[in-house]
Structure 1
Amino acid sequence: MNQKSYVYILLTDTGTLFTKSIKKYTRAPYNHASIAFDEKLNEMYSFGRKNPNNPINGGFVKEDIHTGTYSKYPETTCVIYKLKVTERDIIKMKRVLNVFIKNQKKFLYNLIGVIGVSLNEPVEFSNSYFCSQFVAEILYRSGIKLWDKLPALVTPDDFRNHINLELVYEGKLFDYKMIKENFPQ
């Protein structure tokens, strides 16, 4: 039972003031990372805004394209990749993910960690992550080691440039066919 499956990595740019600030520094096209367990992006998780209207309150979130933060930013651009994994890998990832789900109120957004990445110094606090650190951590704790560096140093651009990730789509998030088919406008 070593059947191949996929997880999906979504990188986005909402165009918010926060992402514009990060983009000025990184010069990367996308500055937010999420992990999804289906190609329709219905089961997708990250660290970001807990409330779409409040950019200050961040932490672990189950992202919903139609009611969450993305719904406020219809011009969001994105790139979607898929990573080939085994069913066993998915079971391990969901086990790790369940720790986040069960304790979601305890998790905070690691803003200082974002600064640490820019200095190439990992800044890790217990129960505190930034988006790409979280996605890398889910993979790493499940035995999928894509880089020879700590998850606290992984950026969204590291995903974009990884050879094991296969491009699925690039463009406006709401033009992605799997979203359009599910929720025609």
Structure 2
Amino acid sequence: MDRCEKLNRNEFNMRDLIADRRLMNTVECFLLAGILFFGTLPIFILTYAYTAMVMIFRAWLSQFKFQIKLTLMSTYTMVLILEILFCAQVTFGHHFFWGTLFVSRLFSTVMILLPLAVERIVIIHKDADSYLPSISELTALSFEQLKHNREAIHHSMEEAEHVRKTLAIDKLKTIFIDMKRHSSIRYVNNGTLTDAYFDAAKDALTDPYIYIVISNTGSDASEIISLFTQKQYNHTSLSFDRELKTIISYNGGNNVYPPGLNPEIVEAFHKKDDASVLVYRLPVTREQKKHMIDQIEQINHDGSAYNIVGLVVKRSLRPNIMFCSQFVYRMLESNGLAYFTKPAGNVKPTDFIELDYYKKTDFCYEIKF
């Protein structure tokens, strides 16, 4: 009889928990709807800041490994800055149509949930023992434990300072202003590769290699990307000659060319003191190399654009809209030269080194500035 009573009591408690959770979900939906339709810029910013601070506190007091804690806290900080910038520049900017205003407000409202989504993804992909602490566990945190973790705290402060410098408002503002030059639905770059470039590329047909260039440039965009990828090298290019006179890739154009397929010069990679370039070579036939040049010539003729949205969604709306590693991989893949298998939109610059399991490429040299 006691057992039956306990089962009934547990079932009753479970129903109460489900009912309470449904009530909370309903309240949360009403709050989000209120922010969507009636929220002002200060309300959005305060909501973003409150959510970020709560999630940073939860991450620091969680049972995750230190590296995961640091990644979570850094991500929450970046999300907060991006939320505020988007809301201030786009949502509460000038709108000529009511539809764009509503869509931007809807997007800004959904962004409130981004930190929660990040936490959920981490929990799902980590071991079961990486749980968030209970209230009783939070109160058990002692100064002695903080003392033992002094070095870890010092390291985290250094990393936080690096994140702060990387996500400085002036850098983010420059990137957001530059985004106006980009397009994810139409080609904005056409004919930036000259006849002289293609003459030089064809002169290199006697060279039996194609050169894969991996660079750590130190540009604002590269530094922000490195926070997500946790990789030192975040740009890749192709060259038809060893001296890199024909180096080419998809990039933002450096305010010289429109974003898309552009020629590059190694000296332009020197944007910080420890910038460096790694050069690898991959054996090719003359026919493969010529076909690659013909493909690039066709892209130059048809037009191109830098796939800035694809960095997040991993897709392209048009064939010639790509980012750097996506372009290099497609060039290799379409000519039977790909030495690892991966969707082009998911390829990172360092994959050309790290996924070379069969040692198809040879290291040539490194350039340090």
Match for 1:165: what amino acid? T
Out of 8, 11, 27, the residue aligned to residue 230 of structure 2 is: 27
Q: Could you tell me which amino acid in structure 2 is paired with residue 167 of structure 1?
A: F
1:61 aligns with 2:262: yes
Aligned pair partner of 2:305 in 102, 108, 114: 108
Cα shift readout 1:121-178 (whole Å, capped 9, x = no counterpart): x312212100000011111112223222222221101112223121111341x5xxxx
Alpha carbons of structure 1 residues 5 and 54: separation in structure 2 relative to 1, 3 Å: closer
Whichever structure has more helix as a proportion of its residues is 2
Other structure's SS at 1:156 match: coil
Q: Given the alignment, which residue of 87, 95, 103 partners 2:286?
A: 87
Query: 1:30 and 1:138 mapped to 2: Cα distance?
Result: 20
Separation (CA, whole Å) in 2 of partners of 1:26 and 1:159 = 15
Output aligned runs, 1:111-130, within 5 Å. Answer: 111-116=308-313, 122-126=314-318, 127-130=320-323
Higher relative contact order (CA 8 A, sep 6+): 1
Q: Give the AA of the match of 1:131.
A: C
Query: What is aligned with 1:153?
Result: 346
1:96–1:141 contact (8 Å) kept in structure 2 = no
Q: TM-score, with normalisation over the residues of structure 2?
A: 0.40
TM norm structure 1: 0.77
Q: What residue number does 1:179 align with?
A: none
Counting strand residues as a fraction of each chain, which structure ranks higher?
A: 1
* 1:33-44 to 2 correspondences below 5 Å: 33-44=236-247
* Greater Rg by CA: 2
Per-residue CA deviation, residues 14-63 of structure 1 (Å, 9 max, x unaligned), is 1122111111111112100000000000011101122x3479x5211011
Q: 1:95 deviation in Å?
A: 1.6
Q: Does the 8 Å CA contact 2:218/2:271 hold for their aligned counterparts? A: no
Letter in 1 for 2:325: S
What is the total number of aligned residue pairs between the two structures? 160
Does the residue aligned with 2:327 lie in a helix, a strand or coil?
Answer: helix
Q: Where does residue 70 of structure 1 map in the other structure?
A: 269
Q: Gapped runs of 5+ residues in structure 1?
A: 117-121, 175-185
Q: Is the 8 A contact 1:33 1:46 kept in 2?
A: yes
Amino acid at match of 2:240: F
Work out the CA distance in 2 between the residues paired with 1:65 and 1:129.
Answer: 21
How far residue 4 of structure 1 moved from its aligned partner, in angstroms, is 7.6
What is the alpha-carbon distance in structure 1 between the residues aligned to residue 238 and residue 276 of structure 2? 16
Contact 2:217 2:270 in 1 (8 A): no
d(CA) in 2 for partners of 1:147, 1:96: 21
1:84 deviates by 0.9
One-letter code aligned to 2:295: V
Aligned counterpart for 2:335 among listed residues 142, 149, 154 = 142
**Identity over aligned pairs, percent:** 28
Q: Which runs of 5+ in 2 are unaligned?
A: 1-205
Against the structure 1 CA distance between its residues 80 and 91, is the aligned structure 2 distance closer, same or farther, given a 3 Å change threshold?
A: same
Aligned CA-pair RMSD: 2.3
Deviation of the 1:64 alpha carbon: 2.3
SS in structure 2 at match of 1:145: coil
Once residues 47 and 79 of structure 1 are traced to their aligned partners in structure 2, the CA distance between those partners, rounded to angstroms, is 18
SS in 2 for 1:20: helix
* Residue of structure 1 aligned with 2:363, choices 155, 164, 167: 167
C-alpha separation between the residues in 1 aligned to 2:300 and 2:266? 18
Q: Give the 3 Å change call, closer, same or farther, for CA 74–36 of structure 1 in structure 2.
A: farther
Mapped partners of 1:95, 1:147: distance in 2? 23
Please give the alpha-carbon distance, in whole angstroms, between the structure 1 residues aligned to 2:333 and 2:307. 18
Cα displacement (A) at 1:71:
6.0
